[in-house]
């Protein structure tokens, strides 16, 4: 074992045997699949909540509550399960979360379409289960990829982006075939298959001995630039991603485009994000893209994409999709790589869970801000305002001070 610059114990990549290295590489793939599962589950159902199997449209308030339940559970529980992963080992939390997600989805396939209350309970249970296996998967990605953390997080993020992109498409197709019962059944089978795969090939990552932590010590660590800068970058880019997915179709409709064309714009955004993340991770691992530079470039591209999305017409729509997608894809793997390097010994799960809390805040706050400004002024005003805030985050990342040796 070797220590990171911040004290986190890591497997010694240089001393590991080729067989052990291959085992770790194989063990990463179920973790990527877990990332796909949570993204597909979140967006596949969210995109299908507007109408049930009968085509009955939900009231807007009810729809808003159902959409918020999944993210609300993650905001509350991700830090809790991240800390639990440090205590008992992330593999146990990963498997427990996947099994719970499969069980919640299976129950929803039977009972979740009977009434709105049952659907809400299923959504809340899925969010709670995802709160367990998502930070555990992030922690294991870092633990199983010494020397290539950037590439591993790039691949992990790409698979999550694929889930975000395919969720609405496949979710809609499954709703057309068999309603919520079909959608929840597929999610149950997917989570169960990923759990079985993880049991087979994901190695155990034992808990690392750690020093006693006080509330004051935790507060100092969570306000340290080593933690704040990447978390702020992840929150800003996640806000932009959520706004892009939600409001670029509004921009397209205002331009006179069909739903198919506006859906293609969102798919373009998701594809840019998925393609950029592995490249950014590899470039970082090769020493070509330092964390601070990559985060600043990613935030700058994201801000430019939001500004472009404020322009009228198809060119603004497409430029916004490319800029937001590329910026998010550039910043995301570098942010997680920096967080993994900053985690103290035995606190990797807690660090990832706390950072995910920042991402969820951006995921919820971005659309709220843009939606409120769009209602009060215009959609362009909301896009530009968020772009200014993201650009301010770029300036904060570039401020002089301590930085990672990454």
Average pLDDT over all residues of the chain: 81
Weakest mean pLDDT among 88-102, 103-117, 288-302, 345-359: 345-359
Q: How many CB atoms lie within 10 A of CB 93?
A: 27
The single residue listed with the structure tokens 């994901």 is 202
Banded model confidence at residue 104, pLDDT cuts 50, 70, 90 = very high
Higher-scoring residue by pLDDT: 142, 22: 142
The rounded distance, in Å, linking the Cα atoms of 380 and 377 is 8
Q: What is the pLDDT of residues 196-251, one digit of tens each?
A: 999 999 998 877 555 554 445 555 565 667 778 888 899 999 889 888 877 888 88
The rounded distance, in Å, linking the Cα atoms of 35 and 39 is 6
pTM: 0.76
Beta strand segments in 219-268, E: none
The rounded distance, in Å, linking the Cα atoms of 236 and 232 is 6
What does the pLDDT read at residue 111?
A: 81
The rounded distance, in Å, linking the Cα atoms of 75 and 60 is 22
Banded model confidence at residue 148, pLDDT cuts 50, 70, 90 = confident
Q: What is the pLDDT of residues 105-133, one digit of tens each?
A: 999 998 866 677 888 888 899 999 999 99
Residues 6+ apart with CB under 8 A from 40: 163, 164, 166, 167, 170, 171, 187, 190
């Amino acid at each position: 074992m070797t220590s990171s610059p911040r004290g986190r114990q890591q497997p010694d990549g240089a001393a590991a045997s080729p067989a052990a290295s291959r085992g770790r590489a194989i063990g990463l793939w179920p973790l990527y699949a877990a990332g796909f599962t949570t993204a597909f589950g979140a967006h596949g159902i969210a995109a299908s909540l507007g109408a049930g199997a009968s085509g009955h449209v939900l009231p807007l308030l009810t729809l808003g509550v159902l959409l918020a339940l999944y993210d609300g559970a993650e905001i509350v529980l991700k830090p809790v399960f991240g800390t639990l992963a440090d205590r008992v080992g992330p593999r146990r939390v990963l498997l427990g979360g996947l099994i719970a997600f499969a069980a919640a989805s299976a129950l929803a396939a039977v009972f979740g379409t009977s009434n709105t209350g049952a659907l809400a309970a299923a959504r809340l249970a899925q969010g709670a289960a995802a709160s367990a296996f998502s930070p555990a998967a992030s922690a294991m990605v870092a633990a199983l990829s010494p020397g290539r953390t950037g590439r591993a997080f790039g691949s992990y993020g790409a698979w999550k982006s694929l889930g975000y992109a395919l969720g609405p498409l496949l979710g809609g197709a499954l709703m057309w075939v068999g309603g919520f019962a079909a959608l929840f059944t597929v999610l149950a089978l997917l989570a169960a298959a990923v759990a079985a795969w993880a049991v087979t090939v994901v190695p155990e990552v034992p808990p690392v001995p750690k020093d006693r932590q006080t509330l004051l010590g935790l507060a100092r660590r969570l306000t340290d630039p080593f933690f704040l800068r990447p978390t702020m970058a992840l929150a800003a880019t996640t806000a932009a991603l959520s706004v892009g997915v939600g409001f670029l179709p509004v921009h397209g409709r205002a331009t006179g485009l069909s739903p198919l064309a506006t859906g293609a714009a969102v798919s373009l955004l998701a594809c840019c994000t998925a393609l950029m993340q592995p490249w950014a991770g590899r470039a970082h691992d090769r020493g070509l893209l330092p964390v601070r530079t990559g985060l600043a470039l990613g935030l700058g591209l994201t801000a430019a994409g939001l500004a472009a999305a404020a322009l009228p017409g198809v060119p603004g729509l497409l430029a916004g999709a490319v800029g937001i997608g590329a910026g998010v894809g550039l910043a995301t793997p570098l942010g997680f790589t920096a967080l993994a390097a900053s985690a103290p010994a035995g606190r990797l799960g807690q660090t990832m869970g706390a950072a995910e809390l920042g991402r969820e805040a951006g995921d919820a706050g971005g659309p709220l801000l843009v939606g409120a400004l769009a209602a009060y002024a215009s959609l362009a005003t909301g896009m530009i305002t968020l772009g200014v805030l993201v650009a301010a985050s770029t300036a904060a990342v570039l401020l002089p001070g301590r930085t990672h040796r990454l």
